[in-house]
Structure 1
Amino acid sequence: MTGLVDALVIVAVVALVITRQTRPQRIDSARRWWLIPAVLVFLSLRDPGVIDARHHTEAVLLLIAELLVGGAIGAGWARTTRTWVEPDGSVWGKSTKGSLGVWAVGIAVRVGLFGLGAVLGVHQGTPTLLLALAATLLVRAGILTIRVRSLTGPRGGGPAYGGEVHRAARKERV
């Protein structure tokens, strides 16, 4: 990818993530929660610079570390997201201050990994960052989908017409 396309993709994804993170959002377990991470993986794997050919082993180890950090951020973000069920049966979520802490620690670790790569002479580019972001979003969405299904039952959604009416679940505290 070119530098301009890289910048536009990163800005768009960050804007989407921040928008969703800072306001309450309906969580639908039936939607295609894997679509944005799949697009990010596709965009990053198109670039031949994912692995530095001159430092193959170090580049692979740094990529694995980035993916693990991305997955940990996604898990922490999902765990610190407050979820609740509305009277109509819809499930909502909103990130908490703990979510911001997870992001801050994750970014600090990523900066450290980038610094380690620079010391080792490993070229790290946007594809690695996009893969890690995809891991973050995929893990978070997967965990939230599991949490939503545990709140609403295996079929999701609210009660059927004429069915049993459930009281709203109490709001989780994180």
Structure 2
Amino acid sequence: MLGFANIIIIIGVMALIVSRQFRAQKLDDGRRFWLLPLILGAIALSDHKLIDSAHRTESVALLAGSIVVMLAMGSVWGWTVRLWRESDGSIWMKGTGATLAAWIGLIAVRLGVYALGSVLHVHQASSGLLLTLGVLLLTRGAVLKWRARLVDDPRTLHPVA
């Protein structure tokens, strides 16, 4: 039953992310960007099937590789978002064409990870996807927070506008 619940959570989180991605929205000035990733990570780590016990080494290596890839993809995603300051001082963000390309790349990479796992005969639980999604969101949030501090700083170049 946990696998089915994870799939529902994954679909819900992805629908929320995609639906908000290309609308201009105020960047949360609070420190809650880590809350959803923390919840996803906690759910994932509570699943005893996160690591395939029949292929422990391969499973851990695949999960670790997935986490590293999601760290990189979260960084890329964070840099593709357009940031600007409104007259009231608030920071706003909106996805760009590069954001869409990053999402397509992310999906392709994720499919590649699943294909590699299948070739290695490693069972990949949905909790692994939850964990890497949490890493992705946490990384993106950290990059956006860091970039937001630099908006309107004349010494800073923003490669994606």
Query: Shared fold by TM > 0.5?
Result: yes
Q: Which amino acid aligns with 2:88?
A: D
CA distance in 1, matches of 2:135, 2:152: 26
Report the TM-score when normalising by structure 2.
Answer: 0.90
Q: Which amino acid aligns with 2:135?
A: A
1:156 maps to none
1:158 maps to none
Give structure 1 stretches of 5+ with no counterpart.
Answer: 154-170
2:149 maps to 149
Q: Does 1:124 align with 2:108?
A: no
1:59 maps to 59
Kept after mapping to 1: 8 A contact 2:80/2:95: yes
Kept after mapping to 2: 8 A contact 1:74/1:139: yes
1:139 maps to 139
Kept after mapping to 1: 8 A contact 2:81/2:160: no
Question: CA-to-partner distance for each residue in 1:8-50, whole Å, 9 max, x for gaps?
Answer: 2012101111122120110123231100000000110111011
The alignment's C-alpha RMSD in Å is 1.8
Kept after mapping to 1: 8 A contact 2:41/2:130: yes
Q: Which amino acid aligns with 2:49?
A: G
Q: Secondary structure at the match of 1:30?
A: coil
Kept after mapping to 2: 8 A contact 1:82/1:172: no
Deviation at 1:3, TM superposition (A): 3.6
2:87 maps to 87
Question: CA-to-partner distance for each residue in 1:56-110, whole Å, 9 max, x for gaps?
Answer: 1110110011111211121111100000000110100001111111111121111
CA distance in 2, matches of 1:6, 1:86: 38
Report the TM-score when normalising by structure 1.
Answer: 0.84
CA distance in 2, matches of 1:77, 1:142: 11
How many equivalent pairs are there?
157
CA distance in 1, matches of 2:132, 2:2: 19
Deviation at 1:152, TM superposition (A): 7.2
